[in-house]
């Protein structure tokens, strides 16, 4: 891995390195979700959740679409979701 590639990887890892953001990516692995549904599952304030969603969208990890006043988020970069799935599997095996 060259230096430029390593710097890009670090940016992606930093963008998801937060418990709320990890939970969001895990939820969106299964399906696209409406913002209010994400807020409800996480049991966090809408402002905090929206901030996390927007940050990941700005970093190219997530994408969204509007349907009237509703905003739906989905994973734009499927490799990020795959990476997190691998890490999560590893952690589960280590604990269990």
Dist. CA 5–CA 11, nearest whole Å: 10
Global pTM value: 0.84
Q: What is the pLDDT of residues 62-83, one digit of tens each?
A: 999 999 999 999 999 888 888 8
CATH of the domain at 18: 1.10.10.10
Structure tokens at 41: 């599952």
Residue 42 backbone phi and psi in degrees, to 5: -75, -25
If one counts every other C-beta atom within 10 angstroms of the C-beta of residue 18, the result is: 13
For residue 59, the enclosing domain spans: 3-95
For residue 29, what are the contacts with CB-CB under 8 A and spacing of at least 6? 75, 81, 84, 85
| Bridge partners, residue 62, by sequence | 75
Place of tokens 């679409």: 65
Total domains in the fold of the chain = 1
pLDDT in tens, the chain (96 residues): 899 989 988 888 898 999 999 999 999 998 999 999 999 999 889 999 999 999 999 999 999 999 999 999 999 988 888 888 788 887 787 776
């Amino acid at each position: 891995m060259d230096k430029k590639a390593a710097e890009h990887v670090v940016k992606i890892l930093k963008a998801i390195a937060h418990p709320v953001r990890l939970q969001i990516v895990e939820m969106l692995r299964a399906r696209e979700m409406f913002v209010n549904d994400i807020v409800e599952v996480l049991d966090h304030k809408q402002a905090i959740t929206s901030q996390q969603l927007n940050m990941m969208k700005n970093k190219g990890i997530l994408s969204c679409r509007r349907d009237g006043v509703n905003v739906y988020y989905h994973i734009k970069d499927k490799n990020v979701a795959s990476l997190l799935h691998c890490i999560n599997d590893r952690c589960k095996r280590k604990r269990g």
